Structure 1
Amino acid sequence: MPGPSHPAGSLAAADALNRSLGTTRTEPSASPRLEALALAVTADQPVLLWGEPGIGKSAGLEQLAAGLGLPLETVIASVHEPSDFSGLPVVGDEPATAGVPMAPPDWAVRLARAGHGLLFFDELSSAPPAVQAALLRVVLERRVGSLALPGAVRIVAAANPPSSAADGWHLSPPLANRFVHLSWTHDPRIVARGMAGTWPELAVPVVDPAKAPGAAARARGVVSAFLTARPGLVHHMPGDAESRGRAWPSPRTWEMALRMLAVGYATGAGREALAAALTGAVGDGAGIELLSFLEHLDLPDPDRVLAAPDAFALPERGDRQLAFLIAVVAAVQSDLTRERWEAGWTVLAKAVDAGVPDVAARAATDLAAMRRPGWPVPAGIDAFLELLRQSGALTGG
């Protein structure tokens, strides 16, 4: 039997030592960076982690997959060809009539069989432009060749800045605009504690079903009111290549911000994590303005107001009035009943009483369009009758 001096025995002892060093534990830790990642993934928004090599991006993804109970598929984007993502043609017996299907790679097939998973594209900034172009459909449409990935598959990527990436490239604007961009840095104190065997625990946010409808309505009110006040931020692509390869505002990224804000409201996400996620979607400039707008809104829960509309006092500031009225209409639309529809008109009537019917004009048009046949015209609609007749929103009996 080989002893410690025998090579095989030495390796066995070394393997045991390595296994003991791999045994670690986790502890609860307030990490806005980890929370922002978990928030974006929960909201089903593709995330791109930017950071220097060797700072734990891959380890963070392994922890996230474990926390979500999802299988992790890692794909090194830089070593693949475009056909690995667009699919390889497979010629059948009758291509002229049956067509030529595009066969997906094995990792896509495994995800499809599992029905869920976390798909991790590593070294994205080292992938040449042709590969980046092929990834567009995977990220946006969740299709790999002829295979549609299950809706429960989440997508995360990681990239090194082009200055430190092997054969680094700036991301193309179409690909960059499909991600929430998060900066991934290291905290020396966390690394030092991790070397002692204890790493921070990633807390996965959980959506409260009772809060979900109100959270969606509030998020719609906030984003719609903000873009009404700042229309120039709806779409603004930066002029330089490096900035175009990061986060910038567009209708697509505002939709991403809307979804993350709604999930943030429904999960009780921390302010720092929500700030990182929102600026990661629409960029620092637009994101900071949105955060400032959010900080001073403090909107009431629209569902509670609809339950007792007579007891509600309209906010005094115009931006809060607009955001709240949009949120009320969105809440009515999410659960449309005659009682809630009529309560919505009671709320809008308070804008007329406050001397600001113009603030409620758009909300009134949207609310009127939800009227079902046979519903009577409520008293609160009187102040908007002329506007609604001109828009054609008031038709029928």
Structure 2
Amino acid sequence: MNAKKVKSSLRTLISLKQPVFVWGAPGVGKSHVVAQVAREMGLELTDVRAVLLDPVDLRGLPSVKDGTAHWCPPSFLPTKGEGVLFLDELNAAPPLVQAACYQLILDRKIGEYTLPDGWTVVAAGNRESDRAVTHRMPSALANRFVHLDFTVDADTWLEWAERAGIDEEVLAFIRFRPKLLHAFDPKKNDKAFPSPRSWEFAAKIIASTPDPDVEFSLLKGTVGPGAATEFAGFSRMFRQLPDPDAVINQPDTAVIPEEPATLYALCEAIAKRAGEKTAENIVTYASRLPSEFGVLLVRDAVKHHRGVVETPAFSHWTTANAEVLL
């Protein structure tokens, strides 16, 4: 399921205090989604990396009082309030550490420690097929969770990326080549490969305007040589686009690029400029584009400015493109 469905599922399961395990390939954003859901629900998030623990760490250390040994729980386990106890990379932990989590996950306690009523256990990890560092999860532990499979969806990621202010060059490229948002092959030993996480890194690199002599090397080390080569070609074209503001100012006569990649990039740049003063002209220009690009431009412009749908040009455009919009 995509990020939206995973978030919706997490909200339901967290409200029920039902332990849940999120599975997904490296770099798809599992940890980010769990943190985002906790934040949106107004819950505290305690992130515990199980792979860094020893089996005894969860139970804590003994102390003696009045001749009786008592276990002092570790400080990272919550004692009050409401929140999410996030056991990230749980299946990367050694089997003995996973076994130590049994009681905590099912019975909400371990030794003398009890998880507060307002807290829910959420775990995440990579799949065994991804050739990441994992240990097979014992069936007794697996049966304590509801399991969610996290898959990458370009449209969902693009919606998030626009809100997050990801560089428009990267957004335009992913619209043009959505399959390169996540291209991970566990059979290869690539150090770098395209993923939602690595494209976010790439966007930060581009926004920092690095030295042109090293830009490609940086991208190659971030998203891998294949994706970096395609992006570099797209980027050269993107940086030579017609001025989006000039296109908006003269929508009836502005040039219409012939190359699909150029059109994708130009639509991305124009849509971001949608506003009260530009909406009419943007739709006018969209009406001159091939139908699929006109739909792309208007749809993205509406995301940035809802007033686009109230313009006279929008009414004419929807009538002319009724067959495409059905």
Whose relative contact order is higher, 1 or 2, with alpha carbons under 8 Å and at least 6 apart? 1
Q: TM-score range by the shorter chain?
A: 0.3 to 0.5
Q: For the pair shown, which has the larger CA radius of gyration, 1 or 2?
A: 1
Please give the TM-score of this superposition, normalised by the length of structure 2.
0.47
Please give the TM-score of this superposition, normalised by the length of structure 1.
0.39
